[in-house]
């Protein structure tokens, strides 16, 4: 009897944030014998019934995924999950409520953790159904490691050629400035007092950032002030500010890593980019004018130098630009980081994730068939769900609109992916046998020939 490895199904929601890391994971898995399907999360869900039985690597486990997880299991796919937002989290009770679900948890074959603290949050979750938890790190950490920074060298050079010396402001105001205005939470009727205050706080910080940028532009006229909005944010308010200043620009193409490597300093507030900037040895400033400590995200601000006024911010930037880039309490910050993200040295996180999948037997066989009845039901549910989603894609302003999809997952070609794999291969001296084929719109098959 012949056997085959499980198909690894790797969905990408926000291309600029996830694609490079998940492409690296795909190549490593393909080298180890796994056939890989990589692409837009939305379009993978449309085709899930026709993808060979395998393991779906879920990027979240929210209650919104309950129906889709049920479909996966009916179709015979196993689910191994991590939380893309698990590195920087709200307090446990709110994190569990907003990001996890007992119904999705009970369908998991395994959980992948960014680090020890992430594993603890999974383990202590009251709805945890017993899926084994593996601390591997995340592939997004791999592409920040020193041995892979050369992967971005051409992009870093192009960014510096385009913008010169610049200060990077990474924004994180999806609740107040969503790409789809109907998703804005500011002013919403929220019954939970903590969440209502948190939403108000984020709105206040958003306004403070808008007021801060003109002062920063005037104070540092020899530097570009580059605003990089979060992938789900509207660019409109930032463009409105930028039009009045020659040295203010707005851009967010591609992964944030080359932008961090190219910048002279990063400014943020409670943003995951601060963790990435710290790992990449960049000067990181947390601008926190609305001082409410219980609303701060603990990790990004703890790894930053915190300033609470524009004057402090300008002074700190001038120190950095003069060459004073020393980091206070550096060793303490590194130890704090180790509790949150693993695999920043030693074997890549992607290697460790693939080893977990091999240990679970997926390299030797696909998951067990689900039975004719459940399969037919899962297939029917997929067709119905796809029909509804495709209809909603034509509705302007809908959360499933094609406009919003393309904002998060722009068109990408086989040639684009081939060039990325070639760059990864040059840095790691591997991947010369990787083959890429377009399966359908926004979906690709990756194998090792």
pLDDT digits (tens, 9 = 90+) for 139-167: 999 999 999 999 999 999 999 999 999 99
Kindly state whether residue 135 falls inside one of the protein's structural domains. yes
pTM comes to 0.91
CATH number at residue 97: 3.40.50
- Which of these three, 287, 303, 338, is where a domain ends? 338
Say yes or no: 137 and 157 in one domain. Answer: no
pLDDT at position 292, please? 52
Say yes or no: 328 and 363 in one domain. Answer: no
pLDDT at position 71, please? 97
Say yes or no: 233 and 278 in one domain. Answer: yes
- Which of these three, 338, 370, 387, is where a domain ends? 338
pLDDT at position 236, please? 87
Say yes or no: 334 and 374 in one domain. Answer: no
Kindly state whether residue 1 falls inside one of the protein's structural domains. no
pLDDT at position 417, please? 98
Say yes or no: 262 and 376 in one domain. Answer: no
Say yes or no: 301 and 316 in one domain. Answer: yes
Say yes or no: 283 and 379 in one domain. Answer: no
Kindly state whether residue 11 falls inside one of the protein's structural domains. yes
Kindly state whether residue 170 falls inside one of the protein's structural domains. yes
What residues of the chain score a pLDDT lower than 70? Answer: 1-3, 175, 181-191, 195, 290-297
Say yes or no: 313 and 375 in one domain. Answer: no
Among 189, 173, 170, 340, CA closest to 256: 170
Kindly state whether residue 410 falls inside one of the protein's structural domains. yes
Say yes or no: 55 and 178 in one domain. Answer: no
Say yes or no: 240 and 189 in one domain. Answer: yes
Say yes or no: 309 and 392 in one domain. Answer: no
When divided into structural domains, the chain yields a total of 2
The parent domain of residue 158 ranges over 152-338
Kindly state whether residue 2 falls inside one of the protein's structural domains. no
pLDDT at position 237, please? 87
Say yes or no: 387 and 364 in one domain. Answer: yes
pLDDT at position 1, please? 37
pLDDT at position 177, please? 74
CATH number at residue 328: 3.40.50.2000
Kindly state whether residue 214 falls inside one of the protein's structural domains. yes
Kindly state whether residue 186 falls inside one of the protein's structural domains. yes
- Which of these three, 338, 365, 393, is where a domain ends? 338
- Cβ distance 380 to 48 under 8 Å? no
């Amino acid at each position: 009897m012949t056997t085959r490895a499980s198909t690894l199904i790797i969905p990408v929601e926000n291309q600029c944030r996830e694609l490079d890391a998940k492409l690296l994971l795909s190549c490593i898995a393909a080298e180890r014998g796994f056939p890989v399907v990589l692409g837009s999360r939305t379009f993978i869900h449309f085709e899930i019934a026709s993808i060979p039985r395998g393991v779906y690597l879920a990027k979240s486990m929210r209650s919104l995924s309950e129906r889709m997880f049920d479909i996966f299991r009916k179709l015979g796919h196993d689910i191994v999950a991590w939380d893309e937002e698990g590195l920087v989290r709200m307090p446990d009770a709110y994190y569990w409520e907003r990001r996890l679900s007992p119904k999705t948890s009970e369908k998991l074959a395994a959980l992948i953790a960014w680090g020890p603290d992430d594993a603890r949050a999974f383990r202590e979750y009251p709805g945890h159904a017993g899926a084994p938890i593996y601390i591997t790190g995340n592939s997004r950490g791999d592409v920040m490691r020193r041995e892979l920074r050369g992967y971005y060298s051409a992009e870093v050079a192009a960014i510096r050629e385009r913008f010169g010396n610049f200060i990077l402001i990474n924004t994180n105001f999806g609740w107040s400035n969503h790409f789809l205005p109907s998703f804005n939470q500011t002013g919403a009727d929220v019954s939970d007092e903590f969440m209502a205050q948190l939403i108000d706080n984020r709105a206040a910080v958003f306004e403070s950032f808008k007021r801060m940028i003109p002062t920063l532009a005037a104070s540092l006229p020899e530097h570009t002030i580059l605003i990089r909005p979060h992938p789900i944010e509207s660019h409109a308010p930032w463009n409105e500010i930028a039009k009045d200043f020659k040295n203010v620009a707005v851009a967010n193409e591609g992964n944030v890593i080359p932008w961090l490597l190219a910048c002279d300093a990063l400014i943020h507030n409670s943003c995951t980019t601060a963790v990435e900037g710290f790992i990449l040895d960049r000067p990181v400033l947390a601008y926190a004018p609305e001082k409410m400590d219980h609303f701060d995200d603990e990790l990004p601000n703890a790894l930053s130098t915190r300033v609470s006024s524009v004057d402090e911010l300008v002074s700190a930037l001038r120190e950095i630009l003069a060459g004073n880039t020393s980091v206070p309490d550096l060793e303490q910050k590194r130890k704090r980081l180790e509790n949150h993200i693993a695999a920043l040295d030693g074997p890549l996180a992607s290697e460790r994730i693939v080893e977990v999948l091999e240990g679970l037997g997926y390299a030797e066989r696909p998951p067990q068939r689900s039975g004719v009845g459940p399969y037919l039901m899962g297939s029917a549910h997929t067709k119905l769900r796809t029909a509804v989603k495709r209809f909603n894609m034509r509705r302007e302003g809908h959360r499933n609109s094609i406009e919003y999809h393309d904002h998060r997952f722009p068109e990408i070609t086989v040639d684009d992916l081939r060039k990325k794999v070639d760059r990864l291969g040059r840095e790691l001296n591997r991947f010369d046998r990787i083959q890429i084929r377009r399966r359908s719109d926004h979906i690709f098959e990756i194998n090792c020939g």
